[in-house]
Amino acid sequence: MTEHLSNKESFTRDQAIEYIMFHYGEMMKRTIYTYVKNFHTTDDIFQEVLILIYRKWDQYDGRAHLKTWVTRIAINRSKDYLRSPLHRIKLMKDQWLDQKDDRHTEGEIIKKEKWDEIAEAILDLPIKYREVMILTVQQGLSQKEIAEVTGAPLSTIKTRMQRARKMLKKRVSEGEWTLG
């Protein structure tokens, strides 16, 4: 299969799912995790997203980049879960990036701890601000791409990004770090 699914008619659903899992699977799991903050729930939702993509493959018209399309499905399914009663029942949280590796130098440990603190601060943001930060920092999406993925106007995304950065600067202790 080629690197790009430009001619989707030449691919079966099974080939498309295989391509999506190989090229975007980890990215989709990270995106889902940033919403639900639970590894087991992430795996469940990831499976649901793959089923949705499989079922909706005929609806993919190629206007949006495939990465944008699958990311939007993952985000929407994650938001559906967060609104569900099931989520309210399962309010257990896993800690993200809480393991320390003794093999690292002191400088690397300090740097990792700072990024752990930033990651935790991002995960503690309200969902609409967390979303733009994760899509920017972790996924490397531009503000325009975030607007496409979320369906929000570009001006809203810019405002959310500014507010998220202000909240993070207040939350994270003094130190040398940037958020791009």
Residues 46, 48, 49, 54: what is their CA dihedral angle, to the nearest 10 degrees? Answer: 130
Predicted confidence (pLDDT) at residue 74 exceeds the cutoff of 70: yes
Q: What is the pLDDT of residues 99-155, one digit of tens each?
A: 444 455 666 666 666 666 777 778 788 888 888 888 887 777 888 888 888 888 999
CA distances from 129 to 43, 55, 56, 83, 136 (A): 23, 30, 29, 17, 11
Q: Which of 37-46, 61-70, 103-112, 122-131 has the lowest mean pLDDT?
A: 103-112
State the average pLDDT for the chain. 77
Predicted local confidence at residue 76, as pLDDT: 92
pTM confidence score: 0.54
HEC string of the chain equals: CCCCCCCHHHCCHHHHHHHHHHHHHHHHHHHHHHHHCCHHHHHHHHHHHHHHHHHHHHHCCCCCCHHHHHHHHHHHHHHHHHHCHHHHHCCCCCCCCCCCCCCCCHHHHHHHHHHHHHHHHHHHCCHHHHHHHHHHHCCCCCHHHHHHHHCCCHHHHHHHHHHHHHHHHHHCCCCCCCCC
Name the band, by pLDDT with cuts 50, 70 and 90, for residue 4.
very low
Residues ≥6 apart with Cβ < 8 Å to 84:
none
User: Which domains, ranges and CATH numbers included, belong to the chain?
Assistant: 8-89 (1.10.1740.10), 106-171 (1.10.10.10)
